[in-house]
Every structure is written in C-alpha cells, then in structure tokens.
Amino acid sequence: MLFNQNQMGRMIGQYMISQGNGSANPRVSVYDVEVKEVGTFTVVNNLSTSTGIPTSGNGNCFRFNPNGTTLAVAYSASPYIYFFNKVGNAYTKLTDLSGTNLPNKGCQGISWHPSGKYLAAVFDANNNIGQCVVYERTADSFTTITNTSSFSAAITATIGLIKCAWNPQGDTLALVSADQPRALIYSFDETTKTFTKVVNPFDSHPTARCDDVAWNNSGTSIALAAGTSPFIYIYNRNSTASTATFTKLTNPTLPSGALYGVSWGGTNSEYLVCNGSVSPYTHFYLRSGNTFMKAANPATLGTSDGFGLQIDTDGRFVVSSHFNANTQYFRRDAANTNTWVNIGPQTTVISGTRAPTLYPTYTR
C-alpha cells in the first residue's frame, strides 16, 4: 500500500466517492474508498457527522470541485442544487440558492469550471431561469452570470438538458440532451463572462439521445454516451480556437445497447470507460493514437443497467453505478495495461444511483 500524501492530505490510493439513493435515506452518500495494492478495498461512510443531507427526492449528478473541498449535487427537488463544504470527513450544507438564482425544475447535470469559480448546471424543460445556468462562486455564495440568457438562442424552453462538461482549459462548455440538438458546444470568454454558440461543431452529429459527455485531460478529444448505435461518439477537436470543430473518429468495438456514462483517465487519457443498458454493462478501452482497443470483460461484472461511472485521474480505478444493484469497483491490473479486475461490489444496494463522482478525476 502507498502512504504518500497529496496536497489535500488524501492518501494516494484513497478516493472520495459520492452517489445517491432514489428511494431510501441517505439520499446523498459520501465514502472514502481505500484501494490497496493487492487489489482489495475498504469503504468508509463519512456522513455520521455531516449536516443538511436531504431526506426526500433524489440526486441526479454528484461532483467534487477541483480541489475536493466542496461537493455539488444536482437534485430532483427544491432547491435543485445542494452544496456541501468538506472539512476533514464532515460535510456541511451551504446556504440554499434563493431569489433569481433559484431554479424551479429538476437539475440533471453539473460541472465545475477548472478554476472552481463557476458551476454549470443543466435542467429539465421549462426551467424558470433557463435549461443551462452558470453560477459564479464568491466565498460560499452562488449567483447566476447575467448573460447566461445567451443559451436561450439555441435551447428553447421545451428542451431538457441531461449533462454538461467544461473542457480542462475552461474556455468551452459542452451540453447534451435527449432532444434535438443532441449536443451543443459553447465557447466561454471569462473576461466578459460571455458564451457563444459554436455553429455546427460536429462533422457527424449524434442522431439520438445523449446521456453523458466527457473531455479528455488535454481538451483535444470529447466522448458522448448515446442511446442508439454507435452508442459512443468519440471526436477529436481540430484546434484550440473557440470556433473549433470536431471530427468523429472511427468506431471502436461497440457496446450493443444504450450508454449512460462515459469517462476518461490515465496520464494521457489513454483509458476510456463507459456503461449502459446491455451486458456486460461496463466497457473498458485503451487508446493508441486514434484507435480504441476494447479490453476483455472482467471475470465478474455488474448485474443490471449501468447508470453512470467515473475513472480516476491515473486510469487505475473505476466506480460504476448500477440500477437497483450494487455499485461495482474495478481496478486495472498493474501487470497488464488493458486488463481490468472487479475488486468487488459495495455491499449496500443503492436504488436508482446515477452519475457517481470520483475524486480525483478529470470530470469536474
């Protein structure tokens, strides 16, 4: 086991995970997971001294900020976004959104800007302040950026959004939806706090519902999880310019059903993982150039639909949520670049878990 410490005091090999429960308490769970070198793990629930955990509704997306000190939760019920500050192992709820900052529809997805200064949030259709809202953080308060109304030019009131993701440079925001347009790209000028829609960014646009979106760590590639074949869309960004377009890469060996989660990991984002609706539910890829080689299925897998997952920054550890079943933990075999081992399920069955967050990871 490794005992080095990073700058946040988190032991290397130890991860923070948050996920939810759709029908029982606690509705928001937070765990420390220590993954040992021999491939086993221990899970510690850190809610015993935490405050403000909701007791009704359900969480749709969970994200730690870039330094792991604040947890944001996209939620189905008012106030629709919860914020918790982490001090040691305790999580304390921050003051709820209010007034003109308070949405009135379910929040489906959230993403922290790499600076930690902004949080993008996407909502169900007919949200009173728009289906995409960007909040600016000042101390522990969150207020909307005034010009987020610029999103309304491309996102009508009847379109609900599902997930969002900032690129690592913080100058581009990607959005995905169940409706047309399935995917949208906006450039962001932080000086003026202005968003500009990139017109027709994809050379081959998704034709079906997209449930997740993720950038690689350099911001040069993006992946979308979709509801119809090819199920996973992988694009290279053609330049770093705000008007850059995206070229679809050749399909890898494809899953055989709808995908709900996608995530990149590894020093050079050489690992891409996704999960979805058809066995084996969780899929692992190793990237070489623009080719993605599918790994053999681990000996044991989840037993129901995968509803979101994340891989850690090093590309060594994956947490995968499964509907009405156990959350699964996977560890990459250190002796084999593209071999993954299921190191066991979480013993508590979480109902309706979706889009867990893992810290540290690229996805914020």
Percent of the chain with pLDDT over 70: 93
pLDDT of residue 354: 79
What is residue 142's predicted lDDT score, i.e. its pLDDT?
A: 97
pLDDT at 11: 55
Q: Is the pLDDT of residue 6 over 70?
A: no
pLDDT at 5 over 50: no
Supply the pLDDT for residue 121. 96
Region 340-351: mean pLDDT is 84
Instruction: Please tell me the predicted confidence (pLDDT) of residue 336.
Output: 82
3-state secondary structure of 148: helix
Token pair of 291, please?
């080719």
E-strand ranges in 88-171 read: 90-93, 107-112, 118-123, 132-138, 141-144, 161-166
pLDDT of residue 134: 95
Q: What per-residue confidence (pLDDT) applies to 147?
A: 66
Question: Does the pLDDT value for residue 43 go beyond 60?
Answer: yes
pLDDT of 352 above 90:
no
252: amino acid identity, one letter? P
State the pLDDT confidence band at 152, using cuts at 50, 70 and 90: low
Which H, E and C letters describe 167-184, residue by residue? CCCCCEEEEEECCCCCEE
- The structure's pTM equals 0.93
Average pLDDT, rounded, for the chain: 89
Residue extents of the structural domains in the chain: 14-359
CATH class, range 14-359: mainly beta
- As a whole number, mean pLDDT of residues 150-163 equals 77
